[in-house]
Amino acid sequence: MIEEITVTAQRRSESLNRVPMTISAFSGDTLARAGAVSPESLGKLVPSLVYTKSAYGAPVFTLRGVGYYDYSISAVPAVTVYVDEVPLPYSRMSQFAGNDVQRVEVLKGPQGTLYGVTSRFVRQTTIWRT
């Protein structure tokens, strides 16, 4: 039996098969088995997602050829990273977004408008240690 994949790309939980958009979704177990322990590892798993660093070491994500490579560490990225439904407005903030990940969803299109941003984005849900 094939396990159903549930995503929250449209701000509610629903089956990946019912979502009318292109999404790459990974559970925490899948990421661990693939050795994806940091945001830069996602480029190895997600087609059309490229991770590079700016001259100052700030992460730069390019998704489907859309990215914003700037030397400023405070530049607003073209691909926004969300952690637990909170946007990380500056690229530098996303380099620490890889601990205790429950799931990662990469939305390949203008779905950022559902969340109030004008960019493509990577959405991550974390598991908090108790």
CB atoms within 10 A of CB 47: 10
| 88 inside domain | yes
At 10, is the pLDDT very low, low, confident or very high (cuts 50, 70, 90)? low
Q: What pLDDT is recorded for position 48?
A: 84
| 48 inside domain | yes
Contacts by residues 60-66 (CB-CB < 8 Å, ≥ 24 positions apart): 60/91, 61/91, 61/94, 61/122, 63/106, 63/108, 63/120, 63/122, 64/108, 64/120, 66/120
Q: What percent of the chain has pLDDT over 90?
A: 0
3-state secondary structure of 23: strand
CB 97 within 8 A of CB 104: no
Does residue 38 surpass a pLDDT of 60?
yes
H or E element in which residue 89 lies: none
| The two structure tokens encoding residue 49 | 């997602």
Q: What pLDDT is recorded for position 73?
A: 62
| 29 inside domain | yes
Does residue 8 surpass a pLDDT of 80?
no
| 108 inside domain | yes
CATH number of the domain enclosing 58: 2.170.130.10
Question: pLDDT digits over 59-92, tens only?
Answer: 778 877 776 666 666 666 777 777 777 777 776 7
DSSP lists the bridge partners of residue 27 as: 103
| 7 inside domain | no
At 22, is the pLDDT very low, low, confident or very high (cuts 50, 70, 90)? confident
| 12 inside domain | no
Residue carrying structure tokens 């094939």: 2
- Say if pTM beats, i.e. exceeds, 0.75: no
CA distances to 2, 55, 77, 86 from 121, in Å: 27, 22, 10, 12
| 83 inside domain | yes
Q: What is the mean pLDDT of residues 32-52?
A: 82
| 16 inside domain | no
Q: What pLDDT is recorded for position 128?
A: 46
CB atoms within 10 A of CB 101: 22
DSSP lists the bridge partners of residue 103 as: 27, 125
Number of domains in the chain: 1
Weakest mean pLDDT among 8-12, 37-41, 51-55, 120-124: 120-124
Boundaries of domain holding 58: 23-126
